[in-house]
Structure 1
Amino acid sequence: MADLKVGDKAPEFEGKNQNGEKIALKDFAGKKLILYFYPKDNTPGCTAESCNLNDNYDAWLEKGFEVVGVSPDSEKSHQKFIEKFGFKFDLIADTEKEILQAFGAWGLKKNYGREYMGVLRKTFVIDEEGVIVDIFEKVKTKDHTNQIIESLNL
Structure 2
Amino acid sequence: QKSRSNHSKKQARAQGEPWLLAVSSSLSHVTARSIVSIYSQRMQIEQAFRDTKNARFGLGLSNSASRTPERLAVLALIASLAEFALRLIGQCAINHHLQYDLQLTNRKDRPEISVIGVGKLLVDSPLSAFSIEDFRRTMKQWAGSHAAIQI
Q: Quick check: TM above 0.5?
A: no
TM-score bracket for this pair, using the shorter chain length: under 0.3
TM-score by length of 2: 0.26
Q: 1 or 2, which has the higher helix percentage?
A: 2
TM-score (norm 1): 0.26
More strand, by proportion: 1
